[in-house]
Amino acid sequence: MKLTLVIRQGKSQLIGQLKEIPGVLTQGHTLEEVKENITDALALYLEDAREDYAADTAGIISQEELEFA
């Protein structure tokens, strides 16, 4: 799976956001720092989403893990 990292200049740091998942944001002083931080931000976002989803199990008929290369 490919995602697009958009980086903008903020007031004091660079701001990174995933185009496909706008809720995933991070910041950093360098391009490399933003690229490293976005991975952590995505992991936290997905962890929160899993927890929210796990609370609502009514009506589920199947559940399986998928891996995207």
Give the tens place of pLDDT for each residue, 37-50.
Answer: 999 999 999 999 88
Task: Sketch the domain layout of the chain as residue ranges.
Answer: 1-28
The pLDDT tens digits of the residues spanning 1-10 come to: 899 999 999 9
Contact present, 4 and 16 (Cβ < 8 Å): no
Identify any residues that bridge with 26 across adjacent strands, giving them in sequence order. Answer: 16
Map residue 39 onto helix, strand or coil: helix
Using the predicted structure, report yes or no on whether residue 58 has a pLDDT greater than 80.
no
List C-alpha distances in Å: 25 to 6, 43, 49, 57.
Answer: 10, 11, 15, 28
pTM recorded for the entire structure:
0.76
The pLDDT tens digits of the residues spanning 12-27 come to: 999 999 999 999 999 9
